[in-house]
Structure 1
Amino acid sequence: MNRISILNTTIDNLAMNDTLEVIQEAIAKNEQIHHVVVNAGKIVALQNDTQLRQSVNESDVINADGQAVVWASKFLGKPLKERVAGIDLMVNLVRFAHKQRHKIFFFGAKEEVVKKVVEIYSEQYSSKIIAGYRNGYFKREEEKDIAKQIANSGANILFVAISSPTKENFLYENKSILGNVNFIMGVGGSFDVVAGKVKRAPLWMQKSGLEWFYRFIQEPKRMWKRYLIGNSKFIVLVLKEKLFKNSKKV
């Protein structure tokens, strides 16, 4: 895979179809892939959070989830093919699991949300794709037991819908316990979208890089700091890297 390196992180230059092929091949070979996505906010966070940076950069496949990251890659002369949104990848893999008779474990969100996600996918496809589910509320000392529960469920795929950096660190620290699960991935707030708790932006806003603004409008009190301050910090990081790159040429 062709990886680029920007802003203290590495990102695989993969389109959606490329990513799906890599994952499907790994499952066919009974191998494990630890997957992660990065957006502007996560890249800002990992500048000072060394544990998160390690959890991200040592993953097997790293996709650019945010359109801002794709734009930054082009501005910095290392263009990525396209944005691979985590929720779109998850939806594609649920469909793939149904076709290939694989099983999925859904871990995260509130109890009523994850239960609703399982109900929706069981009705849309089949309950046979469900290896198990669990809400995302737990104590640190419970992590190993949760990982063992998932590993013993017979799941081929694991989706973790917990906020950063908890989900990245959980997967990184427990991937040996989860060794028989072929694909492990953090999906953030995707369960809330599938369950209908949060609306996703229209397609034109997604393509225009305005999905963050649509989310901000829905939950301004909770999201203003993440998006307005976080996006401003991301722009500063990109400009600094551009200036540093140009100064090295002189």
Structure 2
Amino acid sequence: MRTTSSRNGNARTGPAGPGRPVTVCGLPVHPLTLEESVAAAEALIEDGGPHQHVVLNAAKIVQAHDDPELARIIRSCSLVSADGQSVVWAGRLLGSPLPERVAGIDFMLALWRSAARNGYRVYLLGAEARVVEETARIAAGQGVEIVGYRNGYWDESEEALVVAAVRETRPDILFLAVPSPRKEYFLARRQKDLGCALMVGVGGSFDVVAGLRSRAPRWMQRAGLEWFHRLVQEPRRMFLRYAVGNTRFVALTAAFRARLLIGRRGDA
């Protein structure tokens, strides 16, 4: 078991774990606030791992219903967060209420604060070289112990070298900024080799931290309109994802809602 202590060397009482997930569209989601999610992550780090965290949004739920292996990976993860507001709304419709959206970037930044406070060692993997370098600089400036970083471009022949480079630094937390489902597959395949307690896929979060992309205003985030902000920023890349993916997600949620109502009538 990995032993983690605070920077002053004092032992800490371990926080509570993630608890039992609820089910949204056939996939598990932990009904936790951002603060509770960080506490759960700290418990997983104290446990020593390896543990994988994953976020769910409408696109990933649709992907998982097309890809049984991705669905299996999501079900195997130790901590699953509702990254999209649409997942929170679907949870309410399906009788699996979630307290709030836990956006992947918010979770990452909150974990940085936890790492600075608790002395966790952090490795950053992903994005372009200049982006991950700038992200590492910013994180270190916030008191995070960055033990290593590397860009997210490698082929199959280089994978073992990438894994070895991460393992050599003995990080407590690995943040992986590559697209889905590549990050989920990589972490599931290599989690025992990476030598970290907690592995967190963060998608394009490094780009936001480094200033290449901006987040939606707070009012758009609260209203569940961050997707529209991303569509305006990246129309070519995001149009099909939202036009097709969101439509399929609505249909999928409606199908699960219909099953729920039929089941209730059958029990009456």
TM range (shorter): over 0.9
Matched, 1:222 2:206: no
- TM-score when scaled to structure 1? 0.94
Q: Which residue pairs with 1:168 in the alignment?
A: 184
Q: Secondary structure of the equivalent of 2:135?
A: helix
Q: Which residue pairs with 2:209 in the alignment?
A: 194
* Counterpart pick for 2:173 among 142, 157, 167: 157
Q: Which residue pairs with 1:79 in the alignment?
A: 97
Change (3 A) 1:93 1:243: same
Distance 1:64 1:39 in 2: 6
TM-aligned CA deviation for residue 141 of structure 1: 3.2
Q: Percent identity?
A: 38
Higher mean C-alpha deviation, range 225-234 or range 155-164: 225-234
Q: Secondary structure of the equivalent of 1:175?
A: helix
Q: Secondary structure of the equivalent of 1:106?
A: strand
> Which blocks of at least 5 consecutive residues in structure 2 are unaligned?
1-18
TM-aligned CA deviation for residue 32 of structure 1: 3.3
- TM-score when scaled to structure 2? 0.88
In the alignment of these two chains, the number of paired residues is: 247
Q: Which residue pairs with 1:9 in the alignment?
A: 27
Q: Which residue pairs with 1:233 in the alignment?
A: 248
Q: Give, as a single letter, the amino acid of the residue that structure 2 aligns with 1:203.
A: R
Question: 1:197-219 deviations in whole A, cap 9, x for unaligned?
Answer: 00001111111100010010111
TM-aligned CA deviation for residue 148 of structure 1: 2.1
Higher mean C-alpha deviation, range 183-192 or range 31-40: 31-40
TM-aligned CA deviation for residue 144 of structure 1: 2.9
> Over aligned residues, Cα RMSD in angstroms?
1.4
* Counterpart pick for 1:92 among 110, 115, 121: 110
Q: Give, as a single letter, the amino acid of the residue that structure 2 aligns with 1:223.
A: M
Is contact 2:116-2:142 (8 Å) kept?
no
Matched, 1:244 2:259: yes
1:116-195, aligned counterparts within 5 Å?
116-125=134-143, 129-178=145-194, 180-195=195-210
Higher mean C-alpha deviation, range 202-211 or range 144-153: 144-153
TM-aligned CA deviation for residue 77 of structure 1: 1.3
Q: Which residue pairs with 1:56 in the alignment?
A: 74
TM-aligned CA deviation for residue 119 of structure 1: 1.6
Is contact 1:104-1:132 (8 Å) kept?
yes
Question: 1:57-98 deviations in whole A, cap 9, x for unaligned?
Answer: 110111111010000000111111111111111001111111
Matched, 1:35 2:35: no
Matched, 1:19 2:19: no
Distance 1:29 1:8 in 2: 28
Higher mean C-alpha deviation, range 186-195 or range 101-110: 101-110
TM-aligned CA deviation for residue 41 of structure 1: 0.4
Is contact 2:176-2:201 (8 Å) kept?
yes
Q: Secondary structure of the equivalent of 1:184?
A: strand
Matched, 1:67 2:85: yes
TM-aligned CA deviation for residue 122 of structure 1: 2.2
TM-aligned CA deviation for residue 237 of structure 1: 0.4
> Which blocks of at least 5 consecutive residues in structure 1 are unaligned?
none
TM-aligned CA deviation for residue 38 of structure 1: 0.5
Q: Secondary structure of the equivalent of 1:163?
A: coil
Q: Give, as a single letter, the amino acid of the residue that structure 2 aligns with 1:106.
A: L
Is contact 2:173-2:199 (8 Å) kept?
yes
Distance 1:33 1:81 in 2: 23
Q: Which residue pairs with 2:132 in the alignment?
A: 114
Distance 1:144 1:74 in 2: 43
Is contact 1:23-1:33 (8 Å) kept?
no
